[in-house]
Amino acid sequence: MMDYPEFVLPSVSELPDAGMINCTSPSNIALVKYWGKRPVQLPENVSISFTLDTCKTTTSLSYKKKDKVSEDFDFELLFEGKPKLDFKPKIQNFFKRIEVYLPFLKQYSFSIETSNTFPHSSGIASSASGMSALAFCLMQLEKKINPTISEEEFLKKASFLARLGSGSACRSLEGPITVWGEHDGIKGSSDAFAVKFPNNIHKNFDRYQDTILLIDKGEKQVSSTVGHDLMHGHPFAARRFEQASENITKLKEILISGNLDAFIEVVESEALTLHAMMMTSLPYFILMKPNTLSVINKVWEYRKKTGSKLCFTLDAGANVHLLFPNSEKDQVLEFITNELVAYCQNGQYICDKIGLGAKLL
Smallest gap from Cβ 301 to ligand DP6, in A, equals: 26
Site for ligand DP6 in 213-242 (CB under 6 A): 224-225, 228
In DSSP terms, which residues pair with 319 in a beta bridge? none
Residue 237's CB: how many other CB atoms inside 10 A? 18
Smallest gap from Cβ 225 to ligand DP6, in A, equals: 4
Can residue 353 be called a binding residue for ligand DP6 (CB under 6 A)? Answer: no
> Please, which residue, 57 or 62, has the CB nearer to ligand DP6?
57
> Please, which residue, 44 or 113, has the CB nearer to ligand DP6?
44
Smallest gap from Cβ 180 to ligand DP6, in A, equals: 8
Residue 248 to residue 269: CA distance in whole angstroms? 13
Smallest gap from Cβ 346 to ligand DP6, in A, equals: 23
Residue pair 315/29 in contact by the 8 Å Cβ criterion: yes
Burial class (CB within 10 angstroms; exposed 0-12, middle 13-18, buried 19+) of 266: buried
Helix, coil or strand: residue 221: coil
Can residue 167 be called a binding residue for ligand DP6 (CB under 6 A)? Answer: yes
Smallest gap from Cβ 338 to ligand DP6, in A, equals: 29
Smallest gap from Cβ 218 to ligand DP6, in A, equals: 16
> Please, which residue, 225 or 257, has the CB nearer to ligand DP6?
225
Q: Which stretch binds ligand DP6 (CB under 6 A): 13-21, 164-172, 190-198, 286-294?
A: 164-172
Question: What does residue 289 show for φ and ψ, rounded to 5 degrees?
Answer: -110, 165
- The residue within the footprint of ligand DP6, chosen from 267, 316, 340, 358 (CB under 6 A), is 316
Smallest gap from Cβ 32 to ligand DP6, in A, equals: 8
- The residue within the footprint of ligand DP6, chosen from 166, 308, 319, 345 (CB under 6 A), is 166
Residue pair 29/210 in contact by the 8 Å Cβ criterion: yes
Each residue 33-62 as x (binds ligand DP6 by CB under 6 A) or -, in order, gives xxx-x---x-----x---------------
**Identity of the amino acid at 245:** S
Smallest gap from Cβ 109 to ligand DP6, in A, equals: 27
> Please, which residue, 108 or 208, has the CB nearer to ligand DP6?
208
Residue nearest to ligand DP6 (CB): 167
> Please, which residue, 228 or 240, has the CB nearer to ligand DP6?
228
Q: In what order do the strands lie in the sheet with 320-324?
A: 311-313, 320-324, 209-213, 349-353
Smallest gap from Cβ 241 to ligand DP6, in A, equals: 13
Smallest gap from Cβ 75 to ligand DP6, in A, equals: 20
Residue pair 336/349 in contact by the 8 Å Cβ criterion: yes
Strands (E), the chain: 18-32, 37-38, 42-43, 47-65, 74-79, 82-83, 108-116, 177-180, 194-196, 209-213, 311-313, 320-324, 349-353, 359-360
> Please, which residue, 63 or 193, has the CB nearer to ligand DP6?
193
> Please, which residue, 88 or 143, has the CB nearer to ligand DP6?
88
Our separate counts of H helices and E strands in the chain read 8, 14
- The residue within the footprint of ligand DP6, chosen from 105, 124, 125, 287 (CB under 6 A), is 125
Q: Which residues of 34-65 are buried (b: 16+ CB within 10 A; e: fewer)?
A: bbbbeeebbbbbbbbbbbbbebbbbbbbbbee
Q: How many CA atoms lie within 13 A of 42 on its CB side?
A: 9
How far is the CA of 265 from the CAs of 31, 260, 270, in angstroms? 11, 9, 8
Q: How far is CA 49 from the centre of its chain?
A: 8
Can residue 114 be called a binding residue for ligand DP6 (CB under 6 A)? Answer: no
Residue 142 DSSP one-character state = H
Give rounded-to-5 percent helix, strand, coil for the chain. 40, 25, 35
Site for ligand DP6 in 17-36 (CB under 6 A): 30, 33-35
Site for ligand DP6 in 240-279 (CB under 6 A): 274
Residues near ligand DP6 (CB under 6 A): 30, 33-35, 37, 41, 47, 125, 127, 166-168, 224-225, 228, 274, 315-316
